[in-house]
Amino acid sequence: MIKIITGAQMQELDRRTIGEARIPVTTLMERAGSGVASCIEHWVGTVSGKTITLVCGKGNNGGDGFVAARLLRRRHANVRVLVMSPLSDLSREAASMWRQFVKTAGKSSIFPYRSKDTARALLEDSDLLVDALLGTGLSSTVTGRYAEIIESMNEANRPIVAVDLPSGLHADTGTVLGHAVRAALTVTFGLPKRGLYQNQGIDLSGDIDLVDIGIPPPYVDALESHVTLITPQWVQGCLPRRERSGHKGTYGHAGIIAGSLGKTGAAAMAAQAALRVGTGLVTVATPSSLNDILEAKLLEVMTLPMPETKARTFSRAALDRLLAFMATRDAVAIGPGLSTHPETVELVRALTTRLDRPAVLDADALNALTGRAAILASCKTPPIITPHPGEMARLEADATPQTINRDRIGTATRFARERGSFVVLKGARTVIARPDGAVAICPTGNPGMATAGTGDVLTGMVAGFLAQGLPSWEAACTATYLHGAAGDLAAAAKGEIGMIAGDLLEQIPTALTKVLEYSMDRIRLAGTRPAQRHTYGSTS
């Protein structure tokens, strides 16, 4: 995994790199600007003949922009630089990079900022814009000409590439400081910044690429950060080995406790997802009158009918049989499509207090714990819970989905510590937290996954990895990453708008294959279109 850091931590890394490792600021700028140019070319296919306008501020971010401008021109792009300050106001290093650009391109490629109208004409006459205005140190509201140029860039209806961080975005919280650039691609340096994965930062950052600018690894290792980003190479190392001598008994038996009238689909998708991640055997326990329905839906999954209520949900009388069912499974999932029938709620609470093996709780299992979240701390084996913000709000006293989303990292961390459980807080950039305070953020996934049933798929994937023997942390993070990766593949094939959970299910094997074949030729830290080139003139 890769550490996710604050703006202050990045500034400390820069300070040590410059002061202790004796790497000049200009060298770091050269590496950053080179990375921006390379990422842009990889993203669009070729920059040759394209008109690219770079908007540069007076500090180091602007210096990175001047370097990128010089190198993009070398790649035969038609480059113009819109400068927000006169040469005399630029930082020493940025001024040095300004001079190098002018030496190769001439002053005719430099356009001083004069007014919003003249800037807008330049921006709209471009194929691509580069935001090199403000860096990670911003803490005050953006006003004046900087606010004007940010508005103009957003209104130009051209794809924007942000240098290190979209200008106007708080590096730590991901909140907008008055005005912020809406980027289609963010090229960030050294380590990813926390604000890229929180609040408005999720929408404003677009795809995120990481560029190594040569910060010495010992400095990174010495940095304390409890927040990390899941990477494909980490997931690759977690996946269970498939031995040639293996058989279905080798790869675990998952039990799924799910289903009620009208919600057999949730049970079916969770079961199929468990199989798709390599689980050897899966059995679904379901209300007895629904068993035949699931038998018809599931060819490779076993089923077990259980006592039910008149409403065709699990009854309290199923407790002993379900306890025996769980005792013979390597891991269990409880929740998909259970309903909130009072008797079923009572049953779920009784089952939760007796959990003694790896388990994942989702959906109505979590709803059953409303006001009773303390039960989780009594489990012999800490469970994994997979709430969306609405379910999380019901578990947290005095919380709403809005307050949960405003502090997703803090919410997940606090709940995991207090309840001694693993939390997978679903949503854009899903947050995974464990009882010791460590947090991981998932870079995969897209808005097309905001459709019924995708949460049931995740539940089954987590249960499947638990059944195969992965520890809870590894199972939660691996399943979440692959769940999002499968969603990204489905979006690439079908488009985000028309995606359904079944599309995601079908892509799980391909996502697994791609992770197993992964080699780190470049690092994409987030983005839904890794296999596509950007089309000029469209919005992202």
pLDDT for 207 beyond 70: yes
Q: Are 33 and 67 in contact (CB under 8 A)?
A: yes
Q: Which two tokens stand for residue 55?
A: 């908007």
Predicted confidence (pLDDT) per residue in 370-390, tens digit:
999 999 999 999 999 999 999
End-to-end CA, the chain: 27
Measured CA to CA, the distance from residue 44 to residue 38 in angstroms comes to 10
Q: Which two tokens stand for residue 507?
A: 């892509």
- For 460-522, give the DSSP string: HHHHHHHHTT--HHHHHHHHHHHHHHHHHHHHHHH-STT--HHHHHHHHHHHHHHHHT---SS
Measured CA to CA, the distance from residue 5 to residue 226 in angstroms comes to 9
Q: Confidence class of residue 137 from pLDDT cuts 50, 70 and 90?
A: confident
Looking at residues 490-516, what average pLDDT do you find? 96
Residues whose CB is less than 8 angstroms from the CB of residue 398 and which lie 6 or more positions away in sequence, other chains included: none
Instruction: Name the more confident of 360 and 87.
Output: 360
pLDDT for 534 beyond 60: no
Predicted confidence (pLDDT) per residue in 23-77, tens digit:
999 999 999 999 999 999 999 989 999 999 999 999 999 999 999 999 999 999 9
Look-up of token digits 């714990």:
369
Look-up of token digits 């891991």:
331
Q: Are 467 and 270 in contact (CB under 8 A)?
A: no
CATH superfamily placement of domain 250-518: Ribokinase (3.40.1190.20)
SS3 174: coil
For the chain, helix (H) and strand (E) counts, in that order, are 20, 19
Q: What is the pLDDT of residue 520?
A: 56
Q: What is the pLDDT of residue 93?
A: 94
Query: Exposed, middle or buried by CB within 10 Å (0-12, 13-18, 19+), for 142?
Result: buried
Q: What is the pLDDT of residue 397?
A: 85
Q: Confidence class of residue 139 from pLDDT cuts 50, 70 and 90?
A: confident
Nearest to 181 by CA among 115, 228, 227, 130: 130
* φ, ψ for residue 470, nearest 5 deg: -70, 140
pLDDT for 368 beyond 90: yes
Cα distances (angstroms) measured from residue 207 to each of 134, 145, 537, 538: 19, 27, 17, 15
Q: What is the pLDDT of residue 527?
A: 59
Q: Which two tokens stand for residue 527?
A: 């983005």
Predicted confidence (pLDDT) per residue in 470-488, tens digit:
999 999 999 999 999 999 9
Inter-helix orientation angle 472-494/501-516, to 10°? 110
Q: Are 220 and 213 in contact (CB under 8 A)?
A: no
Q: Which two tokens stand for residue 157?
A: 């209806």
Q: What is the pLDDT of residue 535?
A: 33
Nearest to 458 by CA among 494, 500, 422, 508: 508
Predicted confidence (pLDDT) per residue in 82-116, tens digit:
999 999 999 999 999 999 999 999 999 999 999 88
Q: Is 230 left (phi over 0), alpha (psi -120 to 50) or beta?
A: beta
Look-up of token digits 């910044």:
193
Q: Which two tokens stand for residue 390?
A: 């609405």
Looking at residues 191-220, what average pLDDT do you find? 95
CATH number of 13-224: 3.40.50.10260
Share of the chain above pLDDT 70, in %: 96
Look-up of token digits 């850091």:
5
DSSP 8-state secondary structure symbol assigned to residue 280: S
CA angle 168, 172, 373 (to 5 degrees): 130
Q: Confidence class of residue 136 from pLDDT cuts 50, 70 and 90?
A: confident
Nearest to 49 by CA among 5, 14, 79: 79
Residue 360 host element (H or E): strand 359-361
Provide the b/e sequence for 415-425 (b: ≥16 CB within 10 Å). Answer: bbeebebbbbb
Strand partners, 160: 129
Query: Exposed, middle or buried by CB within 10 Å (0-12, 13-18, 19+), for 274?
Result: buried
Q: Are 14 and 234 in contact (CB under 8 A)?
A: no
pLDDT for 533 beyond 80: no
pLDDT for 279 beyond 60: yes
Predicted confidence (pLDDT) per residue in 409-461, tens digit:
999 999 999 999 999 999 999 999 999 999 999 999 999 999 999 999 999 99
Predicted confidence (pLDDT) per residue in 306-348, tens digit:
999 999 999 999 999 999 999 999 999 999 999 999 999 999 9
> Taking the domains of the chain in order of start, what are their residue ranges?
13-224, 250-518
Q: Are 389 and 404 in contact (CB under 8 A)?
A: yes
Look-up of token digits 């070319």:
41
Nearest to 123 by CA among 85, 151, 104, 95: 151
